[in-house]
Structure 1
């Protein structure tokens, strides 16, 4: 047997003793593979879902999914730190059916039309206040009625209201871009412009929780009052025909209908029914109509119809917030100031938080008015408005402006955001957009060479140039400069209009004067010093020695308009910037108007007599000084004059020993109001005497005023101060046909004065006014101290003898309670004081007067 055979015959080893490796279970391997595959699929699904969600968010102008999740995790918990106000709205079944019908028709048409969208009755509860209201669907586009969060317009009835507003809107916060309009209104208010009250609340409709809403003030007298303005209408260019034009487009009938244009729109006022019934407001509205009509026809420049500074601030703020879309004539609103006779912009619907690529005023200024231009282009074409606009742009473009703004409003912004984040945590205010717009403004105002300049000829001490604009804003030429520091100013005005969009700049002829003969060889060593109109930054532009054919020039720039038509007894010192009324007796047969920038001086002996309806109006301060023995006299014909009025003078006026006598008749239309008035003009009156039969002897609005030993006799109302800071000492008020002192808003301190023979109220305090009296004596008055609309009067010492010593008016929902406090005042108060519901009336620490229930309906 061979070895091979022996080997083959060996017995096999037992299975357990074989040296083979152990093989894993095949089911376990398959399970692991399935797990890995599932995880990969899930990862792919999550990744695809995340990618889809990210693209979805970015298509809606959101930074993306990860930012979204971070905002949700960061902002939603903040909503638990605040408790938004809750408005509970209750409407009947019939009323609810009507609202649903309006919504259905709007969704069918694609636009909300006013036909059929009438108000329905509603009952609203806000905290402890309950009031009845009229309610309707509001808005134009269907974003106001998408889903269940419909937009509503609310008008509270009688004494009702919400947060001081009788007229307000409730809408999805997205219709006003969430916190963006909140920030815009705060900016506008901080800059002294008329701003709406805007914030967030929760709304329930017939018990259904509709979530977070934005509330927005509507246009009425409360808006004017809350912004400390003189009563006047809120205006707009009626968009009704424009929306008919838009509806044609939505219906697929896109035609160039004539009636949809700005030039076809009528000037309209909110609340025209009430205006028509009020003779004073009726006359004010007609005055506004006449001014705006003159502007639209080119008969008055924009700067003589619109408030220059406030208009410019609004336009510059729209650049800062990226709100160019709101520059639609159909959306803008204005308040008309009947004293200054100017329209002020009203903060409304900013359409903001967009990056800007050019300025709102770019390419607009062409140096002349054209009826065919739209409203904002016409505004920008006024050099005074453009100058102020650029000035404010340079303020707003500084990083420190936004830094300080966010620091000041930080707590309020956090609170407003927390109210919103309960439902919209992914909608914080993106501050980077505003800082980005600041950078854009800085870049757009840094024009390296706003002009190309060509030398035409030199003759003696005069240099002829041609300037071609390169920039989108107008350029002011300052002077010509050359080597050695010599320079020369332009002859006449030298404002070069902006280059027109897409066109080569139009050549303009300039003439420069020099202090002595100049050689053409000197000019290349210098240049033309100029700056964008309104800018503090100037540049030196080189002068090309190569002549440009003068036939191309469009002509010299128009000379400036002359000054006011002055009178033989009036001297103007331009160097001293003084207007002097010469001593003597003078009759003024036509209106005397003094522009801003001067001081109007007058000294005794002086007697001015104003003819019928003739007035003195000054936008510069007065300095009228008489003596005790020889006061300055100002009176009028028996038919009545237009009075004396100082408007936005800026610097303080001072009048000493002046007598204003019978300037206005009882039946005068009183526009502007008052025998004498000061509007946004600080004034000190010492030993000034007012007498007459007019409606108001002295009318003060938005001013700081001091009265020192002044006297007022007669008149229906003697002194009326709206939103002023007033101090009166040692003054007397006698024979008022109605009220002696009326303080509306603001504050007043009245010391050691007396009021007598007053048929109405001795001192009246209204609309959150605070009046402090010391040593005041009131005799023979209808009501000694009278308050309403959260007015306050605190009287210490003195005496009151009146049919009704004191009255604390009703605590209205829109204002709050009134307060009257008397300490150590000699008065028979028992049965002669009255306190209405919710208000406080105290005499020597003891509460007095009756009380009535407050219903608010």
Structure 2
């Protein structure tokens, strides 16, 4: 329904004439009323000086330049239309009216249904007001709207996003900050901010920013494994007689309902929140909680831009990396500005309580100083030239509605960097002050309050299983039901216990509930007062941080291994021979592990090896290194290797691994039996057989150079490579996914060359490329596989000399599974299929592309969801 009266469209000249008239009025009224100031800000004016005279001169110059800016503006922007029914629109108007009464947009706000139109598509959506402060809604239109598309649809790689006026985010500021990170090679997650044209209920709202929300989509398009995002909430605030502010903060995850519904993410939630709580309470240093390198780089960039706003407690966002069990900073509300009197400030990271605590850690400080030096050194030769080019191009997308907008003055950045480098000791620099209390009332001290479930435990006591529930919250919590889980993953309904529920626990009270001793875990539905009931998972004898992957403090778990493992400085040298290991061995940080030719290591069920540093298997063709189970057990707990950094190189020669499983250590649960994270992974003749975990070989964020890889009898997937680059030459995959279905090679966000590969008896896909991967495949043969070569989710596969036989479903497929990525492309030459019905075993979904031997395969509608619920359905082992 249109809420406006249709008017004849204005010509560009008429529109400019009106804008210039209003600007002239604004100049005459300086210092002006609030309404005129808001008008100027909305049109892109940002005062870079403090005095009224300098503001007037700047405005005059911007007005003079505005006709050129307007007529050279980029006008072919993406068009988004939002339609909301009248009665629903009234709810948004009521929230806006309430915001003006309270001085802030209410936390509990209406979420209404609407329709979003983009291109030729129509999307069902939920819409509400976005933001907290009144600048989001203080204009007649162009309010900030939060949009969530339904049915897993996506636009610009996002299902959840905000539409905000550029002035709310200081126009090009967020994009300039993100561009600085990219140019500097700092891999920090940064939300997209894309200029679009917006029409709401028929009314032209002009140019707005499409702002990506903090969600799983943001992680996926930034090449991060599925995880979660955390933030801090304010529970209480107090001020003492000295005026010092103390705040009580509580960590939480975003999208908690979604997180708790996924077992793996629920486990990650407990670890992430416990880590944050330990940092806030001083139990753990920052480098043991956060990715020290990325945190140091982020803080350095914040200081270069004077982006103090990013450091306030409520603007921090962190991604929990499930591989290393650490938190990464996410660019959030940096509010960088060209205003010289704000941009020029002493490092705000040295002033804010949380960032000060982070920088008190020597590792974080070292990475901060390294990033600072890099920025200062490359500022004039690289960073500023790149920013100037990007800035001039980007603001053309905003000029149609913001003709007063000008590029940043990067001489200010140069001055900031020079003063930062010489510690503000020069006469000019000494005048630069700390972040002003007029900008932000900071906290002097902070304390933390952990979630109730982090204080609660499921432990065995005197032969009985007891669940101790501690209510650390400020409101009562109610236990509504409990479901038991046995060691074999069987469900126990616990009718007798549930008959006595629900039961409420007041703040500060602990309740002990006796449960059947046969249980290994429980899932309990619990609700805090005023909140909906949610399912929480508790594992027997497992605190959230009972195990996380960290370098051990001691050289060995037990003295019994000293006769065949020699510690020399930062090296572990194994002795050739056959040895039994009955413990899970964890090396100290920065350790080089060397296993000589002819060594056989036999592990007990819960035993394994975790290396922090460099791994070197020195096997030969006649004397390989062997890692396997002991005779009296069915499996062992695998090999995990964490590189020191991306430059660490592992050399793995003639290694035979069998019957390995991923470690089951606390709530940290990696997928791979053999697991490499970061660095350069060089492999030559590696055999992996009879693995007992989700992935046989799992490599994350690494450069790979693998020759002669054999994986046989894999329980599920054989080789999973996420965010990798490199070559896999000469490989063979046999009997893959025999229990639960699995792929031979499964890559995400990777650039990989695969040649001379053979696949026999693969229950799912031989090669699967997803999440913007690029694969070059050559001299490859598929036999007896469900699916051969599959490109999905904006991936590209270029294949040559491919042979296929005994294909159960499809030999070649191209489609989109995750709509945030979009369609895929596959081009295959010299392709031969020996099956009688090969012509129907090639499929491309509408929008994707499949080219086979020079012929384009006709696209068709494909029910991808049904595909994964039937012939591609997997039952991964837990």
Bin of the TM-score, shorter chain as denominator length = 0.7 to 0.9
> Which residue of the partner structure matches residue 571 of structure 1?
566
CA, structure 1 residues 611+142, in 2 after alignment: closer, same or farther (shift >3 Å)? farther
Query: Quick one: which of 669, 672, 687 aligns to 1:671?
Result: 669
Q: CA deviation at 1:820?
A: 2.2
Among 396, 415, 426, the residue aligned to 1:418: 396
Counterpart-to-counterpart distance in 1, 2:118 and 2:584 = 53
Secondary structure, in 3 states, of the residue corresponding to 2:61? Answer: helix
Distance, in Å, in 2 between the alignment partners of 1:164 and 1:642 is 37
Q: 195, 199, 202: which is aligned to 1:204?
A: 199
2:620 to 622, 627, 632: 627
Please state if 1:822 is matched with 2:859: no
Check whether the contact 2:728–2:753 (CA below 8 A) recurs between aligned residues: yes
* 1:846–1:623 CA distance, 2 compared to 1 (3 A): same
Q: Unaligned stretches of 5+ in structure 2? A: 1-23, 428-433, 435-443, 445-550, 866-878
Counterpart secondary structure, 1:111? coil
Q: Secondary structure at the match of 2:397?
A: helix
* Displacement of 1:590: 3.8
Q: Give the deviation of 1:444 after TM superposition.
A: 1.0
CA deviation string 1:275-300 (max 9, x = no partner): 22222222222232333333334333
Q: Which moved more, 1:721-730 or 1:590-599?
A: 590-599
Q: Report the equivalent of 1:138.
A: 130
Q: Mapping of 1:147-166 within 5 angstroms? A: 147=139, 148-166=141-159
Q: How is 1:16-415 mapped onto 2 (pairs within 5 angstroms)?
A: 49=28, 52=31, 61=48, 63-79=54-70, 80-83=72-75, 84-115=77-108, 117-147=109-139, 148-190=141-183, 191-239=186-234, 241=235, 264-353=248-337, 354-362=342-350, 374-398=353-377, 400-415=378-393
- The answer as to whether partners of 2:610 and 2:639 remain within 8 angstroms in 1 is yes
Q: Which runs of 5+ in 1 are unaligned?
A: 1-44, 246-253, 365-373, 449-471, 473-500, 502-560
Q: Deviations over 1:590-629 (max 9, x none)?
A: 4433344443222122222344444422231211111122
Q: Deviations 1:725-754 (Å, cap 9, x if unpaired)?
A: 131111101111111111111212111110
Larger radius of gyration: 1
What are the Cα deviations for residues 487-546 of structure 1, in whole angstroms up to 9, with x where unaligned?
xxxxxxxxxxxxxx9xxxxxxxxxxxxxxxxxxxxxxxxxxxxxxxxxxxxxxxxxxxxx
Kept after mapping to 1: 8 A contact 2:656/2:688: yes
CA contact (8 A) 1:739 1:761 kept: yes
- On the 8 A contact 1:756/1:780 being kept in 2, the answer is yes
Taking structure 1 as reference, are residues 589 and 176 closer, same or farther at Cα in structure 2, changes over 3 Å only?
Answer: farther
Gap change, CA 1:751 and 1:338, over 3 Å in 2 = same
* Mean CA deviation greater in 593-602 or 169-178: 593-602
After TM superposition, the structure 1 = structure 2 runs for residues 824-843 of structure 1, keeping only pairs within 5 Å, are 824-827=830-833, 828=835, 829-843=838-852
Name the counterpart of 1:795: 799
The aligned residue for residue 761 of structure 1 is 765
**Secondary structure of 1:219's partner?**
coil
Find the counterpart in structure 2 of residue 496 from structure 1.
none
Match for 1:690 among 688, 691, 700? Answer: 688
Q: Please list the CA deviations of residues 86-139 of structure 1 after superposition, one character each: whole Å capped at 9, or x if unmatched.
A: 211111112111111111111111111222x13211211223343222111011
User: Please, what TM-score do these two structures have when normalized by structure 2?
Assistant: 0.72
1:563/1:255 Cα in 2 relative to 1: closer, same or farther (>3 Å)? closer
Rounded Cα–Cα distance in structure 1 between residues aligned with 2:171 and 2:129: 20
- Is structure 2 residue 735 aligned with structure 1 residue 735? yes
Structure 1 pair 717/64, CA: closer, same or farther in 2 (3 Å)? same
What is the count of residue pairs matched by the alignment?
A: 676
| Counterpart Cα distance in 2 of 1:132 and 1:93 | 16
Q: Which residue matches 1:435? A: 414
C-alpha displacement of 1:352: 2.5
- Aligned partners of 1:95 and 1:120 also within 8 Å: yes
Does the 8 Å contact 1:799/1:826 carry over to 2?
A: yes
SS at match of 1:299: coil
Displacement of 1:651 after TM fit?
A: 1.6
Per-residue Cα deviation, 1:54-113 (whole angstroms, up to 9, x for no partner):
998999555422322322333552343412222111111121111111111111111112
Q: Report how far residue 391 of structure 1 moved.
A: 2.3
CA contact (8 A) 2:793 2:819 kept: no
Pair 1:643-2:642 in alignment? no
- The alignment partner of 2:749 has SS state of strand
Q: What CA RMSD, in Å, does the superposition of the two structures yield over aligned residues?
A: 3.3
Secondary structure of 2:57's counterpart equals: helix
Structure-2 separation of matches of 1:422 and 1:340: 46
Task: Tell me the SS of whatever aligns to 1:731.
Answer: strand
Quickly say closer, same or farther: Cα 1:267–1:49, change in 2 above 3 A: closer
User: Residues 328, 98 of structure 1: CA spacing in aligned structure 2 closer, same or farther, 3 A cutoff?
Assistant: same
1:705-764 Cα distance to aligned partner (Å, 9 max, x none): 122111001230011111111311111011111111111112121111101100000111
Q: Tell me the distance in 1 between the aligned counterparts of 2:648 and 2:677.
A: 12
Distance 1:189 1:47 in 2: 38
Higher strand share: 2
The range that moved more, 718-727 or 670-679, is 670-679
Q: Measure the CA separation in 1 of the matches of 2:652 and 2:771.
A: 29
Give the aligned partner of residue 531 of structure 1. Answer: none
- Equivalent residue for 2:748, pick from 744, 750, 754: 744
Deviation at 1:851, TM superposition (A): 0.9
Q: How far does residue 808 in structure 1 lie from its aligned partner after superposition?
A: 1.3
For the Cα contact (< 8 Å) 2:555–2:567, is it kept in 1? no
Contact 1:666/1:695 (CA < 8 Å) preserved in 2? Answer: no
- Counterpart position of 1:541: none
Distance 2:575 2:424 in 1: 47
Secondary structure in structure 2 of the residue aligned to 1:425: coil
Distance, in Å, in 1 between the alignment partners of 2:405 and 2:373 is 30
- Which residue does the alignment assign to 1:14? none
Aligned equivalents of 2:239, 2:161: Cα separation in 1: 35
On the 8 A contact 2:663/2:669 being kept in 1, the answer is no
SS across alignment from 1:273 = helix
Residue 839 of structure 1 deviates from its aligned partner by 1.0
User: Would the aligned equivalents of 1:82 and 1:415 in 2 still touch at CA under 8 Å?
Assistant: no
Residue 570 to residue 262, structure 1, CA distance change in 2 (3 Å):
farther
C-alpha distance in 1 between matches for 2:324 and 2:664: 22
Distance 1:163 1:380, change over 3 A: same
Normalising by structure 1, report the TM-score.
Answer: 0.73
Between the aligned partners of 1:347 and 1:333, the Cα distance in structure 2 is 7
Work out the CA distance in 1 between the residues paired with 2:25 and 2:171. 30
Q: Is the 8 A contact 1:359 1:444 kept in 2?
A: no
Offset of 1:446 from its aligned partner? 6.7
Shift in alpha-carbon separation, 1:99–1:255, aligned structure 2, 3 A:
farther
Alignment of 1:519-598 (within 5 A): 564-566=554-556, 568=562, 569-574=564-569, 577-598=570-591
Give CA-to-partner distance per residue, 1:609-659, whole Å, 9 cap, x none.
Answer: 344444422231211111122211112453644422222333211100111
Change (3 A) 1:76 1:778: farther
| Residues 416 and 233 (structure 1), Cα distance of their counterparts in 2 relative to 1, 3 Å cut | same
**Worse-matched range after superposition: 273-282 or 315-324:** 273-282
Q: Secondary structure in 1 aligned to 2:204?
A: strand
Distance 1:130 1:775, change over 3 A: same
